[in-house]
Amino acid sequence: MLIRVRSKDGNFRFELDPNSDISQLLAKILETSSDADPSSVTLSNQPRGNEAKASTLKGRTLKNLGLNHGDLVFVGYQSKKSSESTSTTPSSSTVPPPVVAAKRPWELVKEDPVDEYWRAQLGKIPRGRDSRFCKHGLNGMCDYCMPLEPFDAAYHKENSIKHLSYHAYLRKITPKPTASAASTLPPLNPASYKVKVPCPTATHPPWPAGICTACQPSAITLQSQPYRMVDHLEIASMDIIDRFLQAWRKTGLQRFGWLVGRYEPYDKVPMGVKAVVEAIYEPPQQGELDGLTLGWPWEDETRIRELSASSSTPLTLVGYIFTDLDPTPEDRTKNVYKRHPQSFFLSSLEAVFAATMQKANPTQSRSSPTGSFASRLVTAVLTGTEDGQVDISAYQVSEQAVAMVEADMIEASVDPGIVRVKEEDRTQDSARYVPDVFFSFKNEYGLEVKKSAKPCFPVEYLLVNVTHGFPQNPSPLFRSVEFNIENRPGLEDQTLERVMAHLSKLDAPSIRPGETYKKIELARWLSNWHLIAFLETTQLISPEDVKLFMKIVSSPTLLDNISELDPLLSTDSWQTLMAFTRESAPSRPSATVGGTHDDDIPQEVLDQIAADEVGGAGATHERIRICPHCTFENDHSRPDCDVCGLPL
């Protein structure tokens, strides 16, 4: 077979037998140089990195090393003079021999289950028999009915699909398997607009003291991204969004939350991926009428990620959502339509924030040389529609946007629809190199025109649209949204007393693993993501039991097979919680009430008395009156709404 060799002395070709020892190849390499030190020869399948010393490969054949016909081997070595001078210097350090069997970064990656699913599928687009052109039998196939590739341009145009899915794009750019080593290399290349430090040529001082064409980034032309990492955002239940909006309805202040969910195949797009949201976690924040301030860094991130991963179907953070709602002055029941083609869809500040978040949450990928590529973190906005209602808009920002933010090249401007390109800075501590940036558009004559993006350009060039929706038959993992939501101080307070009051109302201390009475109602109330997240902070539930609680209450078959709740009821943590519940439960009235003994009082009345005595939410709910016009929750007895002024 033919082996190609590239070294500092040039390119060479050698005819060798596949079963030849590596020493034969080493001997031919040494013939190409008169002063090469045999002990310093290294071999690699890459121009830089992954080098292995030839001396450690003795006794192995070319075939055993994975070399095939036509493969290119990169060779490095030192001259005899430099090797001798290095060995005689007492302060020189010996380079440890590389691990020959070490796997490359992309081979160590554990991908998301949805990626593993699509890698195992053909991904072809099926087509039925064409009655006009197919002339073959029922079991035959021709060009008119054979399956299409998932990246077929005509199919996407016909079905109004703007972007290729991630895996369809991978199929498009991945070369067909051949004997060449190049065909096995990852096809994706993460974008980077940073100056390479140090310079690969090593001919000048590092940036900002010097720069050349080898280390500076190329000019950037902004263009629509041909693919998207997530094709669809699905909210598992309308109750999740309604519960999130309650804070805005009560206060008028904007809210932010992290979307907790999972990724699944999406059948509306060839090889598509959708993000399914099961809960919204609200971090510490300060809401305003026209914005909000987040507590950063998010201290509970690690805990929330670990807790979510322990559910029956492992969950993770799939994105974030925030409100941008402003009632119209003339009709408080309507909202201002502020995000549209004539203004903006996502502001420049929000786009920079999205790029920062996507950079911090990369997608693990075996198709990238770094082991990660892009991000599936979705940005969702609850905002007013053209008819004044509330709807969701979902986006991602492009990889160009992420790379530009990483290189500190762009920033938000006063105009929300405009992104500003920063000035170049050669200061040692805050050096910033900004290459030429261009964007294309059609002028008034319909001609494609390229224009410099300095000093600013429209934010739309950085956005990728993501569709959204709700399932026709909702089946969320968590059945309840009744429990108070975290980090809503003064509005909804999470307390252990409220938990124990409701458990007492459900008669939870008397329920045993083998019983079924009232167990379904208990299971339905416990199936609440926010409740389990709160119980973890009470120190009453051990870390192991918290994970068991989360796994059981998120089981899709919990209410159909109520015996699944028994392991939860048998834990020591549950018994501890029940002991506190018994002690905190108020005693029944011992005296007669109006001539009636307490044994004659219905259980529902006693439960209501118990809930009221421990400050349950039942009494508060009776005072709340929801306005039928603007949905604001009024907590007074006056006849008019506090927000819109209309009669209740």
Which tens digits make up the pLDDT trace of 172-207?
998 877 655 555 678 999 999 999 988 888 888 888
Tokens of 61: 């054949």
Q: What is d(CA 224, CA 140) in angstroms, rounded to the nearest whole number?
A: 40
Q: Could you tell me the pLDDT band of residue 644, with boundaries at 50, 70 and 90?
A: confident
Q: What is d(CA 549, CA 543) in angstroms, rounded to the nearest whole number?
A: 10
Return the pLDDT at 257: 96
Q: Could you tell me the pLDDT band of residue 92, with boundaries at 50, 70 and 90?
A: very low
Range 305-309 average pLDDT: 96
- Please state which of the ranges 97-111, 191-205, 254-268, 559-573 shows the lowest mean pLDDT: 97-111
Tokens of 130: 């064409």
Q: Give me the CATH topology for the region 2-76.
A: Ubiquitin-like (UB roll) (3.10.20)
Return the pLDDT at 104: 77
Token look-up 């192991």 returns 544
Return the pLDDT at 270: 96
Q: Could you tell me the pLDDT band of residue 164, with boundaries at 50, 70 and 90?
A: very high
- Per-residue H/E/C for 165-199: EHHHHHHHHCCCCCCCHHHHCCCCCCCCCCCCCCC
Mean pLDDT of the chain: 86
Residue 451 amino acid letter: K
- Please state which of the ranges 255-264, 453-462, 615-624 shows the lowest mean pLDDT: 615-624
Range 286-295 average pLDDT: 91
Domain residue spans of the chain:
2-76, 227-469, 496-584
Range 254-277 average pLDDT: 96
Q: What is d(CA 229, CA 367) in angstroms, rounded to the nearest whole number?
A: 13
Return the pLDDT at 586: 63
Contacts of 273 (CB under 8 A, 6+ apart): 114, 118, 165, 166, 167, 229, 230, 231, 232, 263, 264, 265, 266, 376
Return the pLDDT at 231: 96
Return the pLDDT at 604: 56
Question: Rounded to 10 degrees, what is the CA torsion of 600, 602, 607, 613?
Answer: -50
Return the pLDDT at 607: 57
Share of the chain above pLDDT 70, in %: 88
Q: What is d(CA 368, CA 248) in angstroms, rounded to the nearest whole number?
A: 42
Q: What is d(CA 236, CA 257) in angstroms, rounded to the nearest whole number?
A: 16
Q: Which residues of 10-44 are buried (b: 16+ CB within 10 A; e: fewer)?
A: eebebebeeebbbeebbebbeeebeebbeebbbbe
Return the pLDDT at 229: 96
Does residue 95 have a pLDDT over 50?
A: no
Burial class of residue 56 (count of CB atoms within 10 Å of its CB; 0-12, 13-18, 19+): middle
Return the pLDDT at 76: 87
Does residue 384 have a pLDDT over 90?
A: yes
Does residue 534 have a pLDDT over 80?
A: yes
Q: Could you tell me the pLDDT band of residue 487, with boundaries at 50, 70 and 90?
A: very high
**CATH number, domain 227-469, options 3.40.30.10, 3.40.50.300, 3.30.930.10, 3.40.140.10:** 3.40.140.10
Return the pLDDT at 93: 40
CA neighbours closer than 13 Å in the CB half-sphere of residue 333: 10
Does residue 283 have a pLDDT over 70?
A: yes
Q: Could you tell me the pLDDT band of residue 618, with boundaries at 50, 70 and 90?
A: very low
Nearest to 540 by CA among 507, 503, 588, 578: 578
Return the pLDDT at 248: 93
Does residue 614 have a pLDDT over 50?
A: no
Q: What's this model's pTM, rounded to 2 decimal places?
A: 0.76
Does residue 314 have a pLDDT over 80?
A: yes
Tokens of 511: 């329920």
